[in-house]
């Protein structure tokens, strides 16, 4: 059986994108060293989990780790591409890992990236939120791609 990669068929994506409580301290494991809720279990499709939650209860589940870059939550492309089609989404490099953002930037003015050559105009904009994109891609984040398709 093949599982469709159409984002609308990915049951956990809406839940993942709606979570606003990543990086809080786990209520179940306040005394453990790995207690920051920065993980999401695709099989359980529930609230964010800490390293100890994963170790004790989600060992054989599909888990992705959320990373934070300034105001954005991101996920490594190497972790997410197996589970959802990220084609056309702008990627960024954070701590030498390639990531995609989960949601569009909440903060007002998007940064202007000046990495192009002089005279090079970058007119790539997110098809959903009009945010400036660095590369010739279509979406700034998983959320924007998901919104565009649904
Ligand atoms: Zn926990
Ligand atoms: Zn699980
Ligand atoms: Zn966008």
CA–centroid distance, 46 to ligand 2, in Å, is 8
Question: Does any domain span residue 103?
Answer: yes
CA–centroid distance, 114 to ligand 2, in Å, is 41
Mean pLDDT of the region 69-76: 88
Question: Does any domain span residue 35?
Answer: yes
Question: Does any domain span residue 115?
Answer: no
Question: Does any domain span residue 58?
Answer: yes
Would you say 125 and 132 are in contact if contact means Cβ atoms under 8 Å apart?
yes
Question: Does any domain span residue 102?
Answer: yes
Residue range(s) defining the domain that contains residue 102: 7-109+121-149
Name the one residue in this structure whose structure tokens are 């589940």: 61
Q: Where is 54: in which H helix or E strand? A: helix 51-57
Question: Residue 57: nearest ligand to its CA?
Answer: 2
Question: Does any domain span residue 79?
Answer: yes
CA–centroid distance, 110 to ligand 2, in Å, is 35
As a whole number of Å, the end-to-end CA separation of the chain is: 24
3-class SS at 18? helix
Q: Where are the alpha helices (DSSP H) in 71-139?
A: 77-80
Mean pLDDT of the chain: 86
Q: How far from the centroid of its chain's Cα atoms is residue 140's Cα?
A: 11
How many other β-carbons are positioned within 10 Å of the β-carbon of residue 126? 21
Closest CA to 72 of 127, 17, 130, 32: 17
Lowest mean pLDDT among 8-22, 69-83, 86-100, 117-131: 117-131
Please give the tally of structural domains in the chain. 1
**CA–CA distance, 36 with 100 (Å, rounded to integer):** 21
The pLDDT tens digits for 45-56 are 999 999 999 999
CA–centroid distance, 29 to ligand 3, in Å, is 35
Question: Residue 46: nearest ligand to its CA?
Answer: 2
Mean pLDDT of the region 122-146: 91
Name the one residue in this structure whose structure tokens are 């359980």: 44
**CA–CA distance, 131 with 150 (Å, rounded to integer):** 19
3-class SS at 5? coil
CA–centroid distance, 16 to ligand 2, in Å, is 13
């Amino acid at each position: 059986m093949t599982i469709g990669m159409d984002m609308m068929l990915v049951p956990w994506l809406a839940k993942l994108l709606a979570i606003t409580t990543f990086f809080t301290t786990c209520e179940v494991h306040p005394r453990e060293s790995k207690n920051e809720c920065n993980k999401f279990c695709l099989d359980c499709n529930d609230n964010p989990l800490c390293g100890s939650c994963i170790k004790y209860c989600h060992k054989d589940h599909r888990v992705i780790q959320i990373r934070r870059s300034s105001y954005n939550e991101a996920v490594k492309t190497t972790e997410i591409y197996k589970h959802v089609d990220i084609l056309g989404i702008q990627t960024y490099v954070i701590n030498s890992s390639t990531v995609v953002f989960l949601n569009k930037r909440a903060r007002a003015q998007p940064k202007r990236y000046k990495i192009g050559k002089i005279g090079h105009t970058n007119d790539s904009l997110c098809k959903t939120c009009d945010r400036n994109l660095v590369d010739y891609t279509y979406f700034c984040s998983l959320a924007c791609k998901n919104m565009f398709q649904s």
